[in-house]
Amino acid sequence: MRYPNLTSALCGTALIFLSASGHATENGAPTTPAGLYDFGAGFTPPPTPVGTFGLRTAFYSANKLKDGNGNDQPVDFSLDVLSIGLAYLRMTDQQILGARYGWGAVLPFFHMDASLDVPTPFGTFSDSAEVFRQADLQVLPLILQWNPAPNLGINTQFQIQAPTGDYDPDRLVSPGLNRWAFSPILNATYITESGFEVSSSFQLDFNTRNPDTDYRSGVEYRHDFALGQHIGSWTAGLGGYYYRQITDDDAPGLTDGNRAQVMALGPAVSFFQPGLPAVWLHAYKEFEARNRTEGYTVALRIAKAF
Q: What is the pLDDT of residues 157-188, one digit of tens each?
A: 999 999 999 999 999 899 999 999 999 999 99
Nearest CA-CA partner of 28 in 46, 8, 43: 8
pTM for this prediction:
0.87
Residue spans of the chain under pLDDT 50? 1-23
The C-alpha atoms of residue 50 and residue 61 are separated, in whole angstroms, by 36
Q: What is the pLDDT of residues 256-278, one digit of tens each?
A: 767 889 999 999 999 999 999 99
Predicted local distance difference test score (pLDDT) of residue 7 = 31
Predicted local distance difference test score (pLDDT) of residue 120 = 85
CA-to-CA separations, 20 to 29, 51, 96, 139, 175, in angstroms, rounded: 10, 23, 30, 14, 9
The C-alpha atoms of residue 78 and residue 265 are separated, in whole angstroms, by 21
The C-alpha atoms of residue 82 and residue 297 are separated, in whole angstroms, by 10
Nearest CA-CA partner of 200 in 39, 13, 53: 39
Predicted local distance difference test score (pLDDT) of residue 28 = 62
